Structure 1
Amino acid sequence: MDPSEIIELHCAGAWRAVTEERLGDWRLRAASGFTGRANSALALGSPGMPVPRALDRVCDFAHVHGIPPVVQAVSGSETERAIEAAGWVPNTGHSAGHVVSVLVGPLGTGGDGVSFLPEPSPDWWELAAGTTEPTPAQRHVLTTGEVGYGMAKTTAGAVRAAIAGELLHISRLAVRPEHRRQGLARALMAAAGAWAAGRGATEGVLQVAVGNTPALSLYETLGFREHHRYRYWVPAWKDRTL
C-alpha cells in the first residue's frame, strides 16, 4: 500500500465516524454532518467494482444518512483521476477548504503549563468544539479511541491528541484570542508529543487546509513537512444531497 494511503488509514482510525461501511477498500462514513472527514467516503485502494458504480453507492449511502455525497481522495492518485473521469468535481464550496495538506513531523517534548485530561471537560468542549453541550456525533468523533485532551493554563488553549498506530494525530488545536502569541500553541504541541511518546507514538501527523497559512507556518517551525495532500470531490450535478 502507498505510504500516503497508510497515513490516511491511520488518520481515519483516529477520527471515527458514527457510521462506517466498507465498500471494498473504500470506507463510507457519516456523522450527522460533523466535519468533512467524518462525512465522506475515504477512497483508498479498490472499491471492488468500477469506480462509477462505486460512486453511485457513495450517493446511495449519503442519501440514506442525510448528508451530501462527498469523496476524500489523495491528490494525484490513480483513484482521484478515476473519480474525475467519472464526472465528479472538486468540492470548492467546502467551508473549511477542499484541499488539505497532510503534515508529518517530530514529537515535541515538554509543554510546561499544559495538562492532559482522560475525558474532555466542559471548558475543553467550549474551546475545542465551540459548545459545552456536544451533539452525539461530536462526542463520538472526538472521544472514540485512545485520546487525550490537552488544556493550557486551565482554559486558555486546548488540543486533541489521539494515538493512530505509531502516529500521534493532532487536531482541534485552539488558543483563545486574548492568549495568542504567548507560545501556548507550541506548548500544547510539545505536551501532546510527550503524552503520545509514552503511548508508543514515534511521529506526529496533522491535517491543515492549504489556505490556513498561519497554522502551516507554525507547524513548519516545529519541524513538520508536507507528506501529501487530499481533496474532497462531489458530483457535478446540481442537487448534491440526493
Structure 2
Amino acid sequence: MDSSETLELRCAEAWPAVTVDKIGDWRLRAAGGFTGRANSALAVGHPGVPVASALAAVCDFAHANGIPPVAHAVVGSANERAIEAAGWVPNTGHVAGHLVSVLTGPLGTGADEVPVLAAPTAGWWELTVGRPEPTDAERHVLTTGEIGYGVAEVMGVIAGAVRAAVVDDVLHIARLAVRPGYRRRGLASALMAACGPWAAERGATRAVLQVAVDNAGALAFYDRLGFAEHHRYRYWVPGPRACEDRSL
C-alpha cells in the first residue's frame, strides 16, 4: 500500500497548479484561487529548512501570487504537528471543507452508455465549473495531463460529468456531478464505472478520490462502490501575526 505522502504526491500530479515552486520536498502551488488543492503548500516530506522558515516561504509565495497562505498537511503527520506548533490553525472557513478524506478503491467495470471523451465539451464545463467556458486557471488545472471527460447524456441533455486522470498506476477521480433533476437514476454510478476501462487502458490498477469528511452522502455513495479511507488531510492557515506580507 502507498504511504499517505506518496498518494498525496500522485493526487497533486493529477491536479496540477498553474504555478509551482518547491522548498525542499514541499510543493508551493497557486492557480488563481481555483480549489484549495491547487492553491496551497503541500507539506509532505522534509522542507529542507526548519518548518517555521518553510512557512515563511509559504507566506511569501502566496502573497506574490495573490492567494491566501494555506498549508495542506496529512492529519497526524510530523509536518502537521510542526505547522500547528508554529501558530497556524485549521482553515475552518474553507468553503469545500478543511478536513478531507482520501479514499482508495477499485476501478469501475464499465458503462457502455457513458462515453469518456478526449476533450471537454461546453456541457461538461457547465456541470464542472458552472459555466460553458472556464477561466484560464480552471482550464489548466482540469485539462493538464492524461485526462478523460466522462459525460452522461439523457435525451440530449448533459446530465452528469466526471473528470478522470491517470498518474502512474492510479486513476484520480474528481468533479463528479449530476444535475439535480437527474439524480437517483444511477448516473453517478455509471460515470464512475465508465472511468474504469478508460483508466485501465492507460495502466491504472486502482482509483483514488478526495471527499470532505462532512459530505455524508458522497462518502456513503463511494462506500457502496468499494472505496475505503486511506488517510485524511487538513488545510491550515496562519494564526494572528503568523504570516506578515514582507513585500509591503
- Give the TM-score range, shorter chain: over 0.9
Q: Offset of 1:214 from its aligned partner?
A: 0.6
Q: How does 1:38-187 map to 2 (within 5 A)?
A: 38-153=38-153, 155-187=158-190
Q: Deviations over 1:59-99 (max 9, x none)?
A: 00000000000000000001100100111000000000000
Corresponding residue of 2:210: 207
Corresponding residue of 1:16: 16
Instruction: Give the superposed CA RMSD.
Output: 1.5
Q: Deviations over 1:18-76 (max 9, x none)?
A: 00001100000000000000000000011110000100000000000000000000000
Checking the alignment, whether the CA contact within 8 Å between 1:68 and 1:241 is kept in structure 2 is no
> Taking every aligned residue pair, what percent have the same amino acid on both sides?
68
Structure 1 unpaired stretches of 5+? none
Q: Deviations over 1:158-192 (max 9, x none)?
A: 00000021100000000011110000000000001
Checking the alignment, whether the CA contact within 8 Å between 2:56 and 2:243 is kept in structure 1 is no
Q: TM-score if structure 1 supplies the norm length?
A: 0.97
Question: Secondary structure of the equivalent of 1:38?
Answer: coil
Checking the alignment, whether the CA contact within 8 Å between 2:87 and 2:242 is kept in structure 1 is no
Q: Offset of 1:112 from its aligned partner?
A: 3.1
Question: Secondary structure of the equivalent of 1:33?
Answer: coil
Q: Offset of 1:239 from its aligned partner?
A: 9.1
Query: How many residue pairs are counted as aligned between the two chains?
Result: 242
Q: TM-score if structure 2 supplies the norm length?
A: 0.95
Runs of 4+ in 1 over 3 A off after TM superposition: 238-242
User: Separation in 2 of the partners of 1:156 and 1:239?
Assistant: 45
Structure 2 unpaired stretches of 5+? none
